[in-house]
Chains A and B, each alone.
Chain A
């Protein structure tokens, strides 16, 4: 059964290391069961940090990067199996266990293959080289004359298996970054559309999500959040819970309020019946004036992301100008399964099971919040409902820790209700972009300037809701190293096009109204939206075909190839936008968008075919054509799956999603007030993958999101000649844009 070992007995047998393993053969690996007394290394420069081979020759991969629903588990298994020359069913994977897996930073920024997977590849290649050298010595055959078949090293008429060489032992080897890796043209496992390992158990109800995880003696916790985000808890009337069966405790710490009960239903009823009074608090900006608020927010610093020539002078000298402002609404992260975690505290040792995308980081946060040494916290990842970058899983873990401590350390499961998730999960931040360009008399673009209002310090840990409510004094989290660019929200603000004078500046804001989420392609999505729409505005302004215009300002052969392939896939017909106007109520349009999506970079382009109903303002997206180049592809069907997901999820965000709030709290607390795209509204997605087997792999989890909003906006312009510059493109905004355009001279954009 594709499942993990989760009984107390197993916890004891593995010396406290609860083993969560998945294999092709659906057997839980007894990894480390025999070596319970010694701790496995989690050093990220050690082969043993990432790999072990047991006495039966089965390989266990230890990954700090975790599968958030993307199929990563399968792809990492493919990478390890390929590089070690073993069959897939010999390889199991343990992910996100702070006592077993190296700290590879959180699972973010589409880095899991390109950074995490490549580290595993290096570890596997180092191990393979060492195994071959050991075999050469043992067999008395030159290493160059040996070959490997499924973990069996053969030379002449002799052979020796991995298990015989190292089975159950350790490598005690540093990872060699320069170790030769296999020639990709010889691959038999990587680069193939291997079926995902988790799907059979997921479609039959056998898979254990975090939300399904149960341990013996476990109690059920629920949280009662303040009615206003910054409200003070004034009083709690515990007598309101008289008669709730199984109620164990009402837990109050500062403004943190929760209940613990023996049954889940008892805990739910308790949260509904508990009478508590909260102070008033109205510290949120007025939603109707959100963009004024963003524009007025203190700027901590500016980051110039591109500076070519002298854009100030060029703009001043330009005979023609064009400018526009784009904005992108606040989005709820919105996992379908609300966040969930289980924590128990045994003799001062905290064990936390959660679907956290960064268990090592969560461990540091929990140690700080609970004021215990780091060694006393053990965090284990169990896959949960889809996470697209920072949802509420860590917060649920914080809640469970406080509740467990309040009941003597007994294991407590906290399951957020839907309103907890919609109300308190981190939010995609509001982003505002100003753009301007100068055009010469010949229709040449001589200057491009842009300013992005984005949150700063995108990689810092988000404070746990429980810690904030309980007013735990903040303890700085010391991270051993940082991964990626802390100014993550500035990515894609520079443009992939060549103009003689360019200046793009990101204003890194001191605050944003809500705790913010990295929900899929953070910053990269919003910034590319503004840029790719404004490029389209320029093409229209100078009367150029939008695809030609991009190609003529692209000095990047890989990008140009991608755009040409996109033109061919979508059967692009060269012409200027908007198309000839006609007076039908329903008008068709087609828009294009392109991104060289950093930090990967992955190249992606899309053409959207839409219809817009000028009476209702409704946009119907019929199809998306996507060409995607992420270098070496590990699992082509997995990449296609991610692209489809990016397009559909981002189309949902583009057309429908907008957080609603008043001065006190979020008011869109469920799916009726925060609708997302449904089946009747999904477009077809036609995909072409550019496979470059010998190139480095780059990200696929997010890049295709970046091209979606602009492709739709540009298609609407193509259809109606009006620009949509504010996500989401609701019918009301479309109607307003039509009306506003009718009132203005047609040449003014």
Chain B
């Protein structure tokens, strides 16, 4: 039986029709709302690529059900900025050329954004700790750390 769930995503209230309101938020964002920022990486909460901000806190969209996300503010990578107007963290990633395949960057940028919202000038160990659960297979870590440092300086 299809169910309607109301979501607040990137500042817009939208309704999605789903068969199972227990479905992870990730699939509603990707399939119902056609968003591409939150990515499927493992579906097990192990890699970080699906991260979104939920009421300003980073959560893994593969682990949280649609029901639990309803009535909370969801912000995805798209909601932070656009190619024309990137957020300070996104701009710092561009400036540092902090990407190889870039598939993991959603988790990196969401977690870095959450870190910088709370910690003005994080040390390198603090940055590493904040991103410790975000996996990158290409080995872009050093550029990502530099990008977060750059974003912190700019903030």
Interface residues in chain A, defined as those with a beta carbon under 8 Å from any beta carbon in chain B: 1-2, 26, 68-71, 195-196, 198-209, 211-212, 214, 245-246, 263-266, 268-269, 334-338, 383-388, 415, 417-418, 637, 641-642, 644-649, 652, 670-672, 676-680, 682, 684-685
CB distance from B58 to the nearest CB of A (A): 15
Give, as a whole number of angstroms, the nearest-CB distance from A469 to chain B. 23
From A206, A646, A648, give the contact of B36 (CB < 8 A): A206
* With contact pairs A203-B109, A649-B138 given, residues A418 and B44 touching in the complex (Cβ less than 8 Å): yes
Task: Find out whether the CB atom of B99 lies under 8 angstroms from the CB atom of A211.
Answer: no
Q: Is the interface of B mostly helix, strand, loop or mixed?
A: loop
The answer to whether B121 has its CB under 8 Å from any CB of chain A is no
Q: For the complex, what is the distance from the CA of A198 to the CA of B105, rounded to whole Å?
A: 13
User: Is the CB–CB distance between A680 and B128 below 8 Å?
Assistant: yes
What's the minimum C-beta distance from B107 to chain A, rounded to whole angstroms? 9
Contacts of A645 in B (CB 8 A): 100, 138-140
Asked if A336 and B142 make an inter-chain contact with CB atoms under 8 angstroms apart, the answer reads: no
**B5 interface residue (CB < 8 Å to A):** no
Task: Verify A418–B42 contact, CB threshold 8 A.
Answer: yes
B150 located at the interface, meaning its Cβ lies under 8 Å from any Cβ of chain A in the complex? no
* B20/A269 in contact, CB under 8 A: yes
B residues near A334, Cβ cutoff 8 Å:
137
Other A-B contacts than A204-B37, A209-B36, 4 sampled, CB-CB below 8 A, are A265-B20, A269-B20, A336-B41, A336-B136
Given contacts A645-B140, A672-B46, A195 and B94 within 8 Å (CB-CB): yes
For chain B, residues 5 to 38, give those with C-beta under 8 angstroms from any C-beta of chain A: 18-20, 23-24, 27, 30-31, 34-38
> Does B61 interact with chain A (Cβ within 8 Å)?
no
Using Cβ atoms and an 8 Å threshold, which residues of chain B touch A648?
A: 139-142
Q: Which residues of B contact A641 (CB under 8 A)?
A: 97, 100, 140, 143
Q: Which 3 A-B pairs have the closest CB atoms?
A: A69-B101, A205-B37, A648-B139
Question: How distant is the Cα of A705 from the Cα of B41 in the complex, in angstroms?
Answer: 25
Q: Does B78 contact A (CB under 8 A)?
A: yes
Q: Which of A269, A335, A418 is most buried by chain B, counting CB atoms within 10 A of its CB?
A: A418
Bound form: Cα–Cα A431–B129 in Å: 35
- Give every chain B residue within 8 A of A335 (Cβ-Cβ): 103, 137
Whether the Cβ atoms of B19 and A637 lie closer than 8 Å is: no
Please state if B31 and A26 are interface contacts (CB–CB under 8 Å): no
Chain A nearest CB from B88 CB (Å) reads: 12
A199 touches B102 (CB 8 A): yes
16 sample A-B contacts, Cβ–Cβ < 8 Å, listed by A number: A199-B94, A202-B105, A203-B105, A207-B36, A211-B39, A212-B30, A245-B2, A245-B20, A265-B24, A335-B103, A338-B40, A383-B101, A644-B142, A649-B138, A678-B133, A679-B127
Answer yes or no: B145 CB below 8 A from chain A CBs: yes
> Which residues from A are CB-within-8-Å of B97?
195-196, 199, 637, 641
Give, as a whole number of angstroms, the nearest-CB distance from A420 to chain B.
11
- Contact status A676-B135, CB under 8 Å: yes
CB of A336 within 8 A of CB of B43, answer: no
In the complex, number of A-B residue pairs with CB atoms less than 8 Å apart: 193
Q: Please determine whether B19 and A385 come into contact, CB atoms closer than 8 angstroms.
A: no
The distance in angstroms between the C-alpha atoms of A490 and B34, with both chains bound, is: 46
Closest to A200 in B: B83
B149 within 8 A of A: no
Question: Which of B43, B78, B125, B139 is A644 in contact with, Cβ under 8 Å?
Answer: B139
**Which of the residues A69, A415, A637, A679 comes within 8 Å of B40, measured between beta carbons?**
A415
Asked if B42 and A670 sit within 8 Å, CB to CB, the answer is yes
B47 contacts the other chain (CB 8 A): yes
Tell me how far the C-beta of B51 lies from the nearest C-beta in chain A, rounded to whole angstroms.
Answer: 12
Nearest-neighbour CB distance to chain A for B139, whole angstroms, equals 3
Question: How near does chain B come to A455, taking the closest CB pair, in angstroms?
Answer: 23
Contact of B141 among A2, A386, A679 (CB under 8 A): A679
Assess whether A336 is in contact with B49, with CB atoms less than 8 Å apart.
Answer: yes
How distant is the Cα of A497 from the Cα of B105 in the complex, in angstroms? 42
CB pair B94 A265 closer than 8 Å = no
B99 lies within 8 A of A198 (CB)? yes
Report the separation of the CA atoms of residues A516 and B101 in the bound assembly, to the nearest whole angstrom: 22
**Are the CB atoms of A336 and B139 closer together than 8 Å?**
no
Q: Is the CB of B137 within 8 A of A386?
A: yes
Check A204–B103 contact: CB distance below 8 A. Answer: no
Question: In the bound complex, how far is the Cα of B101 from the Cα of A71, in angstroms?
Answer: 8
Residues of A within 8 A of B100 (CB): 69-71, 386, 641-642, 645
B86 within 8 Å of A (CB atoms): yes
Residues of B within 8 A of A671 (CB): 42, 44, 46-47, 135
Specify which of B99, B128, B139 is in contact with A196 (CB 8 Å cutoff): B99
**Residues on B with beta carbons closer than 8 Å to the beta carbon of A263:** 18-19, 27, 31
Within the assembled complex, what's the spacing in Å between the Cα atoms of A652 and B139? 9
Write out the residue numbers on chain A whose beta carbons fall within 8 Å of the beta carbon of B42: 338, 418, 670-671
With an 8 A cutoff between CB atoms, is B116 at the interface?
A: no
Known: A385-B101, A418-B41, A418-B44. A203 touches B93 (CB 8 A): yes
Flag if B138 contacts A386 (CB, 8 Å): yes
Q: Evaluate contact between B106 and A205: CB separation under 8 angstroms.
A: yes
Cβ 8 A contact of A266, one of B19, B46, B83, B140: B19
Which residues from A are CB-within-8-Å of B39? Answer: 209, 211, 337
- Whether, in the assembled complex, B77 has its beta carbon less than 8 Å from a beta carbon of chain A, the answer is yes
Instruction: Report B92 CB to chain A, min CB distance, Å.
Output: 9
- Say yes or no for B104: interface residue by CB 8 A criterion: yes
Nearest CB to that of A212 among chain B residues?
B36
